[in-house]
Amino acid sequence: MKFVTKEFIPKGWSQDKKYRVSDVEGKYYLLRVMPHSDEEDVKLSHELMKKVEAQGVPM
């Protein structure tokens, strides 16, 4: 995927870097870049969100 625009988002409480990027078709995405050392915490967070969503809570 090739990004044609990249805009830094200086908001949020996490230490990851966030960017609003767009592709050649004009679709926008949120790109989050974080240290590899945070990988296990992120995996756990995603698993918990999936369980909550399965209970009918929109995530």
Range of the domain at 9: 3-54
Task: Report yes or no on 11 lying in a domain.
Answer: yes
Task: Report yes or no on 47 lying in a domain.
Answer: yes
Count of the separate structural domains present in the chain = 1
pLDDT at 38: 79
Q: What confidence tens digit (pLDDT) does each residue in 28-58 have?
A: 999 989 888 878 888 998 899 999 999 999 8
User: What's the predicted TM-score (pTM) here?
Assistant: 0.62
Residue 19: count other Cβ atoms within 10 Å of its Cβ.
15
Closest Cα partner for 23 from 40, 50, 4? 4
Rounded Cα distance between 45 and 39, Å, is: 10
Task: Report yes or no on 59 lying in a domain.
Answer: no
Task: Report yes or no on 14 lying in a domain.
Answer: yes
